[in-house]
Chains A and B, each alone.
Chain A
């Protein structure tokens, strides 16, 4: 049973053309995360939501935005994709913070973005 769902699995866009990636979860977790992972590299946290509270990492480019309209859904908007934005984008959720059992992150399958 899928718990963290990402759509689409593969996305092709043109240089500069806005694109939106979506993530949904059936776990009712409070926290949702977006990561960027380039080939053979560790995932890099872009931002996360604790409930409706948005937290942006200091080095996340302004080109990346996010929306969380409700508990279940979170979107990643790339306003003007560049060639360097081609990567796997991973969505993750965690129940809460504090105890390790609460902050364990569950990852979706990822969306692979290609920029032409």
Chain B
């Protein structure tokens, strides 16, 4: 069964600190993996996308890694800001299947405190 598991479920850090969020997946055949940021009461916004051959992708203070062998990804946030408080969702796309063949993780809720 295709699944995406994220950890931790929630995380509280102080402003200015770094943090790393984890994503493990069992999706096959793998196409790509995305990290989305979802502010409370808003729709998800894409941060990074990685295909099988890519093992790291940066977007400002966000850096995502992908290990296709172990089927693990991480999202590292550097020098956190209050505006980073949000849910971060890992989404894996499988080859073939229907148009909507995205498997969503449940997200990690990050709270950045002053």
Which chain A residues have a beta carbon within 8 Å of chain B's beta carbons? Answer: 4, 6, 31, 33, 40-43, 45, 47-48, 50, 55, 57, 88, 90-92, 94, 97, 100-101, 103-110, 112
Contacts and interface: CB of A to CB of B under 8 A. Distances in A.
Contacts of B106: 40-42
Given A90-B43, A109-B43, A43 B104 contact: yes
A11 to B, nearest CB: 13
Contacts of A42: 89, 104-107
Interface residues of B, number: 23
Interface of B: 31-32, 34, 36, 41-46, 49, 51, 89, 93, 98-100, 102, 104-107, 109
Main secondary structure of the interface of B (DSSP, over half): strand
Nearest to A55: B98
Contacts of B104: 42-43
Q: Is chain A's binding surface mostly helix, strand, loop or mixed?
A: strand
B27 to A, nearest CB: 14
Contact of A48 (B42, B43, B98, B105): B98
